[in-house]
């Protein structure tokens, strides 16, 4: 129904970002591995194709090659499908069609000034509205030394004589820099030029159009049957619940399980929001004792995740049976807030990554539960889901909420989990979040939380020696959580938070701040 641009993944850390940036221009985009055959791309009926960057050299044995059949793809009107190669994508395209790629004398990583057009040329469609001298972000060791026949240079920098090219006979373009990153001043304009001026896309894909289309799709699919959804109070499940409520009304039944690992006030907040604000059929059960009994004495992070996941499934099934008894039949569908990034690793040309740890979210209910899945957000990024939540009137404290792992505080207490340690962590975490909000810093970071360490430290309080717990504060900035940098919060702010926690939470006498980025660290400590 909408124009579509396909992004072929050659292994770049920015591949998701390319797709996100294209969507910001109002054009739907999706990612496929660079190894997919041209026929499969053709079946998607794309308006254009973007070739991502990647870590390889075109001369590496493991370096993925470009399928030459991509230049033979046609749109329904018989015109060729436009291509845009980015960094490695440009080099792979040029190498495939007779150009020369070589190791650069000077590797180029960082900002450069783009000259468009080169002397004596008219500006190409790709750079309309892009002033000469604007900043672009370079990240490459190889570069083009000879162009394929029929190609011409349309931009350069001081260190890169070939910063961008085009085919004079077809809608095929390439850039040596990364237009998708924020460091490229007019990167969005360049991608918009490709999507609209070159590919001819109309830009009609918006969150509002998504809501209308998904509402009708869900109604048509479900008919008069019923749907259950495991509600956590996080962004994804909350917005999914709001969308399904809009489409189905009382055919939706939400289940909220208190696993004893929630944050301070969360049990009541979720109930107030979805029973009060949305008037949903929300089934709740407090299974705190069951979860904590099974976690007693467990210290291994993976074992914690397994216990929480298995126990959640057990409780969820019990609640499902109670709903079935009320309805007189079992619900047909299970709805989940699966997002596009959850699926992308499985389509990487390198295959799924080695498992660092089980996924944060408790999902993947077993097949024997026998439901058909509804995943309305499986093609969306989290920022798009947030925007949809705003359109659906999901309260701001929930739609803007930081990610929270499915195992909850179980993986933010290092070592053994007890009710006493949970109480300490809840209070410390609540103070940290409260101060972030009060100082207008909450929305400046992607995720922030407190971690209780299995360490005690000596302190002095009221002229007395103390030997109490150490608490770590963690705050990161990120786009999608796949990479992250530690948030450079003001020192005065951190000092104030530390002072409050130590004074207001008996049992904690020392605060540390985590200054590790991902990689090499993960965002969560377990």
Active-site residue identified among 95, 140, 143, 178: 178
DSSP 279: -
Cα–Cα distance list, 76 to 45, 46, 51, 79, 162 (Å): 8, 10, 21, 8, 33
Cβ–Cβ under 8 Å, residues 381 and 338: no
Active-site residue identified among 30, 34, 87, 196: 87
Entry field: residues in the chain = 526
- The C-alpha angle with vertex 337 and arms to 201 and 283, in degrees rounded to 5, equals 145
The DSSP code sequence of 63-126 is PPPP-GGGGG-B-TTSPBPPEEEETHHHHHHHHHTT-EEEEEEEEEEEEEEEBSSPTT-PPPGG
Cβ–Cβ under 8 Å, residues 162 and 143: yes
DSSP 195: I
- The C-alpha angle with vertex 232 and arms to 229 and 234, in degrees rounded to 5, equals 115
DSSP 174: E
Q: Is 87 noted as a catalytic residue in this protein?
A: yes
Contacts of 316 (CB under 8 A, 6+ apart): 230, 255, 257, 365
Q: Is 180 noted as a catalytic residue in this protein?
A: yes
Active-site residue identified among 30, 95, 140, 180: 180
Contacts of 456 (CB under 8 A, 6+ apart): 467, 468, 469, 470
54-57's contacts with Cβ under 8 Å and 24+ in sequence apart are 54/10, 54/11, 54/12, 54/87, 54/88, 54/89, 55/11, 55/12, 55/88, 56/10, 56/11, 56/88, 57/101, 57/103, 57/141, 57/142
Provide the token pair at 373. Answer: 């899945």
Residue 510's closest CA among 494, 524, 526, 498? 498
Catalogue the active-site residues: 87, 178, 180
């Amino acid at each position: 129904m909408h124009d579509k641009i396909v992004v072929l993944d050659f292994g770049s850390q920015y591949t998701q970002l390319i797709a996100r940036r294209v969507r910001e221009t109002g054009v739907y985009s999706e990612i496929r591995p660079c190894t997919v055959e041209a026929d499969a791309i053709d079946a998607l009926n794309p308006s254009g194709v973007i070739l991502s960057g990647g870590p390889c050299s075109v001369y590496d044995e493991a370096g993925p090659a470009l399928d030459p059949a991509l230049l033979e793809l046609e749109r329904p009107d018989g015109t060729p499908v436009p291509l845009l190669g980015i960094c490695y994508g440009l080099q792979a395209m040029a190498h495939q069609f007779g150009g020369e790629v070589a190791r650069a004398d000077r590797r180029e990583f960082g900002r450069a000034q783009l000259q468009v057009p080169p002397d004596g040329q008219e500006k190409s469609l790709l750079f309309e509205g892009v002033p000469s001298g604007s900043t672009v972000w370079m990240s490459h060791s190889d570069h083009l030394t000879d162009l394929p026949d029929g190609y011409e240079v349309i931009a350069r920098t001081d260190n890169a004589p070939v910063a961008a090219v085009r085919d004079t006979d077809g809608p095929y373009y390439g850039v040596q820099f990364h237009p998708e990153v924020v460091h490229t001043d007019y990167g969005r304009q360049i991608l918009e030029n490709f999507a609209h001026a070159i590919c001819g896309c109309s830009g009609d894909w918006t969150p509002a159009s998504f809501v209308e289309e998904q509402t009708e799709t869900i109604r048509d699919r479900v008919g008069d049957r019923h749907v259950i959804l495991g509600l956590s109070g996080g962004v994804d499940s909350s917005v999914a619940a709001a969308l399904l409520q809009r489409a189905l009304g009382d055919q939706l039944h939400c289940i909220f399980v208190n696993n004893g690992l929630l944050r301070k006030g969360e049990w009541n907040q979720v109930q107030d929001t979805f029973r009060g604000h949305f008037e949903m059929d929300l089934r709740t059960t407090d299974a705190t004792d069951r979860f904590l009994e099974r976690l007693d004495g467990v210290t291994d992070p993976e074992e914690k995740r397994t216990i929480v996941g298995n126990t959640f499934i057990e409780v969820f099934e019990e609640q499902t049976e109670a709903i079935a008894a009320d309805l007189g039949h079992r619900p047909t569908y299970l709805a989940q807030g699966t997002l596009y990034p959850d699926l992308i690793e499985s389509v990487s040309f390198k295959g799924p990554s080695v498992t660092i740890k089980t996924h944060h979210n408790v999902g993947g209910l077993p097949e024997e539960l026998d439901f058909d899945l509804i995943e309305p957000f499986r093609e969306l990024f989290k920022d798009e889901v947030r925007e949809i939540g705003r359109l659906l009137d999901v309260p701001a404290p929930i739609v803007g909420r930081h990610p929270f792992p499915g195992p909850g505080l179980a993986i933010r207490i290092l070592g053994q989990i007890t009710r006493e340690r949970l109480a300490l962590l809840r209070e410390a975490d609540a103070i940290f979040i409260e101060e972030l909000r009060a100082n207008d810093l909450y929305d400046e970071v992607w995720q922030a939380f407190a971690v209780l360490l299995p360490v005690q430290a000596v302190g002095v309080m009221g002229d007395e020696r103390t030997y109490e717990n150490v608490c770590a504060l963690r705050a990161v900035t990120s786009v999608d959580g796949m990479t992250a940098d530690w948030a450079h919060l003001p020192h005065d702010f951190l000092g104030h938070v530390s002072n409050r926690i130590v004074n207001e939470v008996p049992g904690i006498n020392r605060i540390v701040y985590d200054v590790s980025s991902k990689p090499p660290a993960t965002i969560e400590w377990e």
